[in-house]
Structure 1
C-alpha cells in the first residue's frame, strides 16, 4: 500500500477486515450482504467524516437538569453537504452515511454503468441541481460545499472518476469518496482525477481486475448480490 496516493485511505480496522472477509464469501446471503455493506460503510464513513468535517459551535441549549451547554454541529453545515450515491449499488450505503450526520442532507443520484466492451462509464441519470438560486427562483439549489460519493466498489476507477468530474463541473469545493473495496489502480485513477479536492476512503484494497473488469478476488457483482438479481 506504500505506493498509493496520499489522498487514498485504506482502513486497517480489524473488525472491518473481518466483515470484509465475510462479505467476500460466495455463500453469504443477500440479506447478510446488505447488512455487511451497511456495517462497512458505517465504519469507513466514520473514519472519512472524522477527517473531512469539523465540529462547530451552533448555540446553546439546556440539559434535563436545567444546565446550559454549548450545542455543536458540523462544518460545513449539513445544508452545504450532498450525499451522492452511484446507482444502483451506492443506494445500499446511503442509510449508513446519513445516520452519521447530525441532520438530513440532500441526496443527489448519479446513474452510471460500464459499457461491456470498453469498460468505460456511461451516464444514464443525473439529478444534480445545476441551477443556482435567482430572484425569480430563490428555491433553486446551487452546488454543495462538500459532496460525499458512495459506491461499494472502485474497480478500474473509471466510474468514480466520471462521478468526480461531474461534481467538479457542478462546482463543489471538496469531494469525499466512501467505498467498501477498491483496487490499487482504481484508487490511483480516482485520486488523480482531482488530487487537491478529493479524498478517497475504502475498507480494503485488492491488487487488480480480471478481463471483465471485476476485482480479484473482490466481491463479485455487488449490485446483483445486494438486490438478488444474480443470473438476470
Structure 2
C-alpha cells in the first residue's frame, strides 16, 4: 500500500485539522462537519492526480479544444456515520461517481474495553473493474476498513482501492497496509503516533461521529 500523507508538507489543510482537534472549536458541529468535508475535497484533489485520463474534444462558443478528462468509473463508499461529511467532500469533486454506504461500529460484547467491528448494513452498486474509494475520517486500529473490505467482496472486484481518512494512527496504518492489496493507496491528512488502551487515536480529536452528529444512544 502506498501512503500519501498530506500534512508532510505545510498547506491550508493544517488549519482545518487544527480546528478539528481544538476542543474550543469542535463544539460547533457545523464547522466540524465542514472542516471534514473540506479535507475530503483536498484529499480528493490529490487522489485525482493518480487516475487515468483521456483526451477529448470540447466545443466552446469560439472554437474547439482538446482536453484531458478523467475516464475512470468511481464508487465512493463511506463508513456510516462519521464518513458522511468526508463522503460529501469527495463527491463535491467526483460529482459523477456512484455511491455506496456501509455501517461499521465497535461492539463491546462484554461491556469492557475489548471490542469487535460489526458490519450490519450495506447498499452498493457493482464494484467490478471500478475505482473504489473508501472514506472514514478516523483510521485507528484499521479493523473497520478491513472488515468493510471483506463485506464488499460480494459486490465485485475493484480495479483499484483508495482509502481516504483524516487522522490515522501508525499501528492502524501498518495493519491495513498488510491486509489490503499491494496496489492500494491511503490518502490521509495527518498521522498520530499511537493508540491508547481503548484503541483510540492519541492525541486524535475524540469521536468523529459524535462530534459531527451528536452522541449515540447508549444501550
**Match 1:69 to one of 65, 69, 72:** 65
The residue aligned with 2:31 is: 32
Residue in structure 2 matching 1:187, options 173, 182, 186: 173
User: Could you tell me how far 1:179 is from its partner in structure 2?
Assistant: 0.5
**Alignment partner of 1:105 is 2:100:** no
**CA offsets 1:48-96 (integer angstroms, 9 cap, x no match):** 2212x122123x232122x1112442132xxx21110000111111221
Quote the offset at 1:115 in angstroms.
1.8
Normalising by structure 2, we get a TM-score of 0.87
- Secondary structure of 1:213 counterpart: coil
- Please give the secondary structure, in 2, of the residue aligned with 1:212: coil
Distance (Å, rounded) in 1 between the aligned partners of 2:53 and 2:136: 26
Instruction: Give TM-score, length-normalised by structure 1.
Output: 0.82
Secondary structure of the structure 1 residue equivalent to 2:24: coil
Deviations 1:142-178 (A, max 9, x none): 6252100111000011111112333355311210011
Q: Across the two proteins, how many residue pairs are aligned to each other?
A: 209
* 1:87 equivalenced with 2:80 (yes/no): yes
SS at match of 2:176: helix
User: CA RMSD of the aligned region, Å?
Assistant: 2.0
1:228 aligns with 2:218: no
2:8 matched to 1:9?
no
What are the Cα deviations for residues 17-65 of structure 1, in whole angstroms up to 9, with x where unaligned?
22211210111211110111111111122112212x122123x232122
Q: Unaligned 5+ residue runs, structure 2?
A: none
1:213 is matched with which residue: 169, 175, 199?
Answer: 199
Alpha-carbon shift at residue 203 of structure 1 (Å): 0.2
Q: Secondary structure at the match of 2:145?
A: helix
Matched, 1:96 2:89: yes
Could you tell me which runs of 5 or more consecutive residues in structure 1 were left unpaired when the two chains were aligned: 1-5, 130-140
Equivalent-residue separation in structure 1 for 2:177 and 2:35 (angstroms): 25
Matched residue, 2:146: 161
SS of residue paired to 1:121? strand
CA offset at residue 223 of structure 1?
0.4
Q: 1:142 to 1:220 in 2, by over 3 A?
A: closer
